[in-house]
Structure 1
């Protein structure tokens, strides 16, 4: 465990050195937040002030919490492991005395911790000052919300790792990554709340792990759903962690058996 803690701490420190990139990320995140908020508020206004359980304040909260989670969740995916597999560097990773998925997960937690603090919370605070945000009335919602965020990061990590691990067989995964990003951004609830979907698409979304990455932590943190209703959703997140962790482990084992180091 000490090794993983040090990896997480090193990842946190590494990303904290990119101050200009962090400031640029905050600015961009805030601007896109205002664009998304204006679209959402216009849609709710045209619907008469309420749309499928969302009023103006709840919609603004949805947008700013989504913007806060954008960087920590890494909704646009990563390609580091896929590149290391393609280049053959994964052979070095496999020789280290720590689990491959464990070391990447530790780095992910360190990176996400910094991104949440430095690039997630500032745009949310700016948005709260301009549009306002809804806060939970029950203290237990904050604890559940923190748990939902951690589980969302974990679910997103495992799903992203499965896309990266496909490089053992595909070599080049850019096409798969693009498809994954498009589907994930839609079905996770990042673009619009999944309760705005037509029934057939809502059914599909709920059968995937994607709502556990965005929609569940937003609903829990905003207090839009009470704690008793949030608990089953967190249970679903835990279920997806188990399923995806098992699937990613099986993919890694199968990939290791067939690995060929590219270029020597």
Structure 2
């Protein structure tokens, strides 16, 4: 555990030294947040509710979505790719720590640093220029926190599984970018799934992506009753277990392949 804590602390320091990346992320997220806010304001101009959600709740949804996008940043797929390209993956796997545990600790370290560097400024900007994103029902805060933690784990597992494509494709830079933007679209981060046609929404709700962004955001703005929220969290947990099992299986096979063939 001490080794992983050391990696985590090192990553916090490393992340906090790259000021240019911090400012770039804040600017990008602010542009997306404010542009989305104007879009939804225009959409709600002639009607009070759309999809069972009023304009005020939708603006809160957008701000919290921008904040979650900071917490849901992962670098595991890029780290796997770099390890494969450099040919160090075999030696990395022989270290006295689990290689993926190390990547996980790095991502946690980055998130802790970005919480203060990115989330706080984005929250202040959103509160000043759009609205203060108040939670609809403070009693659902524990559900929201649990859902966000599970969201991060699901997102990280998907990223790690995606990164293992590098063991066969080697260079996956373009695929990482496609995956990143596709996930934002399918997860309800930018446009909630309830705005999609019913058949499309039903398909998306059967996939794990909506449980990354849309579920915790829906809990935050109070969409749906408590039973519906708990049902969503139950499905979210099932997806977490499925993806964790799949990850362990693929990791075991990938490790065996690398140790036999070298990397």
TM-score normalised to structure 2 length? 0.89
Shift in Å at residue 88 of structure 1? Answer: 1.6
Shift in Å at residue 228 of structure 1? Answer: 4.2
Unmatched 5+ stretches in structure 2: none
| Structure 1 partner of 2:171 | 172
Structure 1 residues 78 and 49: CA distance shift in structure 2, 3 A? farther
| Structure 2 partner of 1:249 | 248
The alignment yields a C-alpha RMSD, in angstroms, of 2.2
Structure 1 residues 15 and 141: CA distance shift in structure 2, 3 A? same
Structure 1 residues 9 and 228: CA distance shift in structure 2, 3 A? farther
Shift in Å at residue 78 of structure 1? Answer: 4.4
| Alignment length (residue pairs) | 261
| Structure 2 partner of 1:53 | 52
Instruction: After superposing the two structures, state which structure 1 stretch, 15-24 or 204-213, moved more.
Output: 15-24
* Structure-2 separation of matches of 1:177 and 1:221: 29
Contact 1:77 1:160 in 2 (8 A): yes
Structure 1 residues 149 and 158: CA distance shift in structure 2, 3 A? same
Shift in Å at residue 198 of structure 1? Answer: 0.7
| Structure 1 partner of 2:22 | 22
Unmatched 5+ stretches in structure 1: none
Structure 1 residues 77 and 197: CA distance shift in structure 2, 3 A? farther
Q: Within 5 Å, give how 1:1-264 maps onto structure 2.
A: 1-46=1-46, 48-74=47-73, 78-259=77-258, 260-261=261-262
Shift in Å at residue 39 of structure 1? Answer: 0.9
* Structure-1 separation of matches of 2:43 and 2:77: 32
Shift in Å at residue 23 of structure 1? Answer: 2.8
